């Protein structure tokens, strides 16, 4: 053993240490910097450039940003900020803009005299975009002159040069980049994805104007809100019955700015969005923890002081039922988890947000007793529903106690107890469930068949939700629990796969299940645990069987095989025998799975509210606007 170690030590010498020069490391491991090389990563390039422009706006130096999706596949981001410095760097003896673009961790964000707060923190944003673009052009207006430099995969094409003159008052930066097709799986920018994010940014920075345009379609949108967060919560509550006018407060403490707007509606869902330096922290963090603690304590204090609640204290789930809120904090030195910035880790922020929210909410409740009593009343109703739901859950658990390990009797579990290799198929109907049980690999694939259509949780209170046997079977099978009891560490399967028929009813069942996961177990979607099985539409036979998943694919394969082919349309999973089901939908080597992700929480919430809520008119309008996109299978 010692000899082997010595040999290995000799083999692992200084010559084995590879130094990646410049931006090579970014191109070698792009996902480390932008999350992925798919559509999400592609749009992350825009966010990085946009962050720099927004930082100028937060500093008070910029009030207009223009973003254009160009016909040639490039994107241009133009701001009227101060412009990236062009003077020679004192150490590197090259123009500062060149250093910022070509070197990682170079930028003005590290010196708080330049930016008090910023979204771009690591000094890698623009340099990462340069590294992952086949070409990037930077134009700077500064001091009456227009400067320009271009870069190919992060390397300067020529020295910074003056290309024109401008008014001295005209300043700003224009960045145009062409993403590298050898890095990204798609180069198509989605107008709606950019639109949603830019609306958020404008709502978070009152007074800032953002203009988005797309050259090929002629689409153009302008985002400009003077109401800020108040308009944000109103927009989130659009189409819902409000309990009161928005509560709003803004306060700075120890250099940290806390801005919050709150408005309850009559639904049963909680919808809290959080931002740090305008970055959407989809996984929350210390600022959200501080906010939730304060809301729970403030409502309990008011209820107890005014003898409004005779039972035990209200829980966090009770007080957040029907709550819509936006929390925006500006932090000079934020600590994010990873470059993609989805969770805040600063411990000191929790106490500051808690203290500020507690102070303002206590004062607001004292000054607005009518609204305070409405909120307390809604929370007490939620408490009663929770207690009734607990009894309903206990009944379901007692029924399940007779099955193996307290799991649902319908569940055909797998033999493996390793979460990372186990899969749970939620299958539409007993017929398909029977085929799936015979088709599966029993070692790592579990099957949970559903009876009928799942409950629409968007329209149901918690009593009805937790009284529903099918919903309780899903909760019990996954093992995580829901609400404040949710614990992702208890998840029993790494993949939860929705498998329904390739027809209108199957699509409806998928939507109902996705509504449940989004409202009650959103962390599973954020973690990438929820999938949709893609089942075939047709079987084409000519000597051998070909399984086809789209209409376009059918046309191509029929054309390729020539005439006298036999085409069978699958209307349901139950029509397939176990071998077919395994080959097409369950075999990891041949199946197609769609991973469910949340690109934008606010937009997702709006769509679920429209499609699954009580209000008919917004749903009718949504269907009318999108009807041309639908492929109706009769």
116-143 pLDDT per residue, tens: 555 554 446 899 999 999 999 999 999 9
Q: Are residues 159 and 108 in the same domain?
A: yes
Q: Mean pLDDT over all residues of the chain?
A: 87
Produce one character per residue of 353-385: b if its CB has 16 or more CB atoms within 10 Å, e if not: bbebbbebbbebbeeeeebbeebbebbbebbeb
Does residue 28 fall inside a structural domain?
yes
For residue 284, give the nearest of 601, 605, 603, 609 by alpha carbon: 601
Q: Are residues 462 and 542 in the same domain?
A: no
Q: Are residues 564 and 605 in the same domain?
A: no
Q: Are residues 159 and 32 in the same domain?
A: yes
Report how far residue 466's alpha carbon sits from residue 489's, in angstroms, rounded to the nearest whole number.
Answer: 22
Does residue 4 fall inside a structural domain?
no
Say if residues 548 and 554 touch (Cβ distance below 8 Å).
yes
The total of other beta-carbon atoms located within 10 Å of residue 544's CB is: 6
Report how far residue 602's alpha carbon sits from residue 461's, in angstroms, rounded to the nearest whole number.
Answer: 22
With a cut of 50, say whether residue 454 has pLDDT above it. yes
Q: Are residues 138 and 246 in the same domain?
A: no
- What CATH code is carried by the domain that includes residue 474? 3.40.50.670
Produce one character per residue of 572-584: b if its CB has 16 or more CB atoms within 10 Å, e if not: bbbbbeeebbbbb
The whole-number average pLDDT for the span 23-37 is 85
- Against a cut of 0.85, is the pTM above it? no
Does residue 241 fall inside a structural domain?
yes
Q: What's the CA angle centered on 281, arms 355 and 614, to 5 degrees? A: 95
The whole-number average pLDDT for the span 574-588 is 89
Sign of the dihedral through C-alpha 567, 572, 577, 579: positive
DSSP string, 149-185: EEEETTEESS--EEEEE--TT--EEEEEEEE-TTT-S
What digits encode the pLDDT tens for the residues 498-511?
999 888 888 899 99
Greatest CA span in the chain, whole angstroms? 82
| 3-state secondary structure (DSSP) of residue 17 | coil
Residue 305, C-beta contacts closer than 8 angstroms, at least 6 positions apart:
none
Report how far residue 234's alpha carbon sits from residue 246's, in angstroms, rounded to the nearest whole number.
Answer: 8
Q: Which residues are catalytic, by number? A: 428, 501, 503, 505
Give the pLDDT confidence score for residue 28 in this predicted structure: 85
Q: Are residues 378 and 434 in the same domain?
A: no
Q: How far is CA 198 from CA 65, 177, 618, in A?
A: 10, 19, 23
Q: What is the β-pairing status of strands 530-533 and 593-595?
A: antiparallel
Does residue 188 fall inside a structural domain?
yes
Helix (H) or strand (E) holding 252: strand 247-253
| 3-state secondary structure (DSSP) of residue 604 | helix
Give the pLDDT confidence score for residue 412 in this predicted structure: 93
| Range(s) of the domain holding residue 554 | 538-569
Q: Are residues 331 and 213 in the same domain?
A: no
Give the CA-trace dihedral at 441, 442, 446, 450, to 10 degrees: 90
> For the purposes of burial, counting CB atoms within 10 Å of the CB of 51, is it exposed (0-12), middle (13-18) or buried (19 or more)?
buried
With a cut of 70, say whether residue 621 has pLDDT above it. yes
> What region, left, alpha or beta, does residue 8 occupy, with left being phi > 0 and alpha being psi -120 to 50 degrees?
alpha
Q: Which two tokens stand for residue 125?
A: 């944003």
The whole-number average pLDDT for the span 93-108 is 80
Q: Are residues 96 and 217 in the same domain?
A: yes
Does residue 393 fall inside a structural domain?
no
* pLDDT band at 20; cut points 50, 70, 90: very low
What digits encode the pLDDT tens for the residues 192-251?
999 989 999 999 999 999 999 999 999 999 999 999 999 999 999 987 889 999 999 999
* pLDDT band at 515; cut points 50, 70, 90: very high
| 3-state secondary structure (DSSP) of residue 366 | helix
Q: What's the CA angle centered on 17, arms 13 and 20, to 5 degrees? A: 170
Does residue 98 fall inside a structural domain?
yes
Alpha helix positions (H), 468-538? 469-478, 504-520, 522-526
Report how far residue 300's alpha carbon sits from residue 307's, in angstroms, rounded to the nearest whole number.
Answer: 10
Report how far residue 145's alpha carbon sits from residue 55's, in angstroms, rounded to the nearest whole number.
Answer: 23
Say if residues 513 and 586 touch (Cβ distance below 8 Å).
no
Give the pLDDT confidence score for residue 14 in this predicted structure: 37
Give the pLDDT confidence score for residue 391 in this predicted structure: 74
For residue 76, give the nearest of 197, 214, 244, 183 by alpha carbon: 214
Residue with tokens 């937790």: 466
What digits encode the pLDDT tens for the residues 144-190?
999 999 999 999 999 999 999 999 999 999 999 999 999 999 999 99
Decide which of 161, 196, 224 is a domain's last residue: 224
Q: Are residues 127 and 178 in the same domain?
A: yes
Say if residues 120 and 159 touch (Cβ distance below 8 Å).
no
Does residue 322 fall inside a structural domain?
yes
Does residue 304 fall inside a structural domain?
yes
For residue 194, give the nearest of 71, 30, 66, 64 by alpha carbon: 66
What digits encode the pLDDT tens for the residues 358-399?
999 999 999 999 999 999 999 999 998 888 877 766 665 555
Report how far residue 173's alpha carbon sits from residue 139's, in angstroms, rounded to the nearest whole number.
Answer: 6
Q: Are residues 144 and 43 in the same domain?
A: yes
User: What's the total number of domains in the chain?
Assistant: 5
Give the pLDDT confidence score for residue 4 in this predicted structure: 47
Report how far residue 40's alpha carbon sits from residue 118's, in angstroms, rounded to the nearest whole number.
Answer: 22
With a cut of 60, say whether residue 402 has pLDDT above it. no
CA gyration radius, the chain: 28
Give the pLDDT confidence score for residue 31 in this predicted structure: 84
Residue 245, C-beta contacts closer than 8 angstroms, at least 6 positions apart:
263, 371
Give the pLDDT confidence score for residue 341 in this predicted structure: 61
Q: Which two tokens stand for residue 71?
A: 């016909």
With a cut of 70, say whether residue 470 has pLDDT above it. yes
Q: For the range 80-85, what are the long-range contacts, defined as Cβ-Cβ under 8 Å and sequence gap of 24 or more?
A: 80/170, 80/171, 80/172, 81/53, 81/56, 81/57, 81/171, 81/172, 81/173, 82/56, 82/142, 82/171, 82/172, 83/140, 83/141, 83/142, 83/171, 83/172, 83/173, 84/138, 84/140, 84/173, 85/142
* pLDDT band at 406; cut points 50, 70, 90: low
- What CATH code is carried by the domain that includes residue 204? 3.30.565.10
* pLDDT band at 115; cut points 50, 70, 90: low
Report how far residue 241's alpha carbon sits from residue 402's, in angstroms, rounded to the nearest whole number.
Answer: 43
Report how far residue 299's alpha carbon sits from residue 625's, in angstroms, rounded to the nearest whole number.
Answer: 41
Alpha helix positions (H), 66-206? 96-102, 125-131, 191-204
Task: Give the residue with greater pLDDT, 481 vs 145.
Answer: 145
Residue with tokens 């500064």: 142
Report how far residue 44's alpha carbon sits from residue 38's, in angstroms, rounded to the nearest whole number.
Answer: 10
Specify the length of the chain in residues: 634
Q: Are residues 366 and 423 in the same domain?
A: no
With a cut of 80, say whether residue 625 has pLDDT above it. no
Tell me the angle at which helices 369-400 and 347-367 cross, rounded to the nearest 10 degrees.
Answer: 120
Q: Are residues 594 and 630 in the same domain?
A: no
């Amino acid at each position: 053993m010692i000899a082997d170690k010595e040999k290995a030590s000799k083999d692992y010498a200084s010559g084995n240490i590879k130094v990646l020069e410049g931006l090579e490391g970014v191109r070698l491991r792009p996902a480390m910097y932008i999350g992925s090389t798919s559509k999400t990563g592609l749009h992350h390039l825009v966010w990085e450039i946009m962050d720099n422009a927004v930082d100028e706006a937060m500093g008070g130096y910029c009030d207009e940003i223009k973003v254009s999706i160009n016909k040639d596949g490039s994107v241009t981001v133009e701001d009227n900020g101060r412009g990236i410095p062009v003077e020679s760097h004192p150490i590197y003896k090259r123009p500062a803009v060149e250093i910022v673009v070509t070197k990682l961790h170079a930028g003005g964000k590290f010196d708080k005299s330049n930016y008090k707060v910023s979204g771009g923190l690591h000094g890698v944003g623009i340099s990462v975009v340069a590294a992952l673009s086949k070409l990037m052009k930077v134009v700077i207006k500064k001091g009456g002159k227009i400067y320009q430099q271009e870069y190919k995969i992060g390397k300067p094409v020529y020295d910074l040069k003056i290309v024109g003159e401008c008014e001295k008052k005209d300043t700003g930066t224009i960045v145009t980049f062409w993403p590298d097709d050898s890095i990204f799986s798609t180069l198509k920018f989605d107008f709606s994805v950019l639109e949603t994010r830019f609306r958020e940014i404008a709502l978070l920075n009152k007074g800032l104007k953002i203009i988005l345009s797309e050259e090929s379609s002629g689409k153009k949108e302008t985002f400009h809100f003077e109401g800020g967060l108040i308009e944000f919560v109103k927009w989130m509550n659009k189409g819902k019955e409000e309990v009161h006018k928005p509560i709003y407060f803004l306060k700075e403490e120890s250099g940290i700015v806390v801005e919050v707007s709150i408005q309850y509606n009559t639904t049963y869902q909680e919808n809290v969005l959080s931002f740090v330096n305008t970055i959407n922290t989809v996984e929350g963090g210390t600022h959200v923890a501080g906010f939730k603690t304060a809301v729970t304590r403030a409502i309990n204090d008011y209820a107890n002081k005014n003898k409004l609640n005779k039972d035990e204290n209200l829980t966090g789930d009770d007080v957040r039922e029907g709550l819509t809120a936006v929390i925006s904090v500006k932090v000079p030195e934020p600590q994010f988890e990873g470059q993609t910035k989805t969770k805040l880790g600063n411990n000191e922020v929790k106490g500051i947000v808690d203290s500020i929210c507690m102070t303002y909410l206590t004062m607001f409740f004292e000054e607005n007793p009518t609204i305070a009593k409405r909120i307390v009343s809604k929370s007490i109703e939620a408490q009663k529903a929770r207690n009734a739901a607990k009894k309903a859950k206990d009944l379901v658990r007692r029924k399940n106690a007779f099955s193996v390990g307290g799991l649902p009797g319908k569940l055909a579990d797998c033999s493996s107890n390793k979460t990372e290799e186990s899969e749970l198929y939620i299958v539409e109907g007993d017929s398909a469930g029977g085929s799936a049980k015979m088709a599966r690999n029993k070692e790592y694939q579990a099957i949970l068949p559903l009876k009928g259509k799942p409950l629409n949780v968007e329209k149901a209170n918690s009593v009805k939700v937790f009284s529903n046997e099918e919903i309780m079977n899903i909760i019990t099978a996954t093992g995580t629990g829901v609400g404040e009891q949710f614990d992702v560490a208890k998840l029993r399967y790494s993949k939860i796969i929705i498998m329904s028929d390739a027809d209108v009813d199957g699509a409806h069942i998928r939507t109902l299940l996705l509504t449940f996961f989004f409202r009650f177990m959103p962390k599973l979607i954020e973690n990438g645990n929820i999938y949709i099985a893609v089942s075939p539409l047709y079987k084409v036979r000519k000597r051998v069987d070909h399984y086809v998943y789209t209409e376009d694919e059918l046309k191509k394969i029929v054309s390729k095989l020539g005439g006298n082919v036999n085409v069978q349309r699958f209307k349901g999973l139950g029509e397939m025998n176990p071998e077919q089901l395994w080959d097409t939908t369950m075999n990891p080597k041949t199946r197609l799975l769609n991973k469910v992700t949340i690109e934008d929480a606010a937009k997702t919430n709006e769509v679920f509210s429209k499609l699954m809520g009580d209000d008919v008119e917004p749903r009718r309008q949504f269907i009318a606007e999108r009807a041309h996109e639908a492929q109706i299978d009769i």
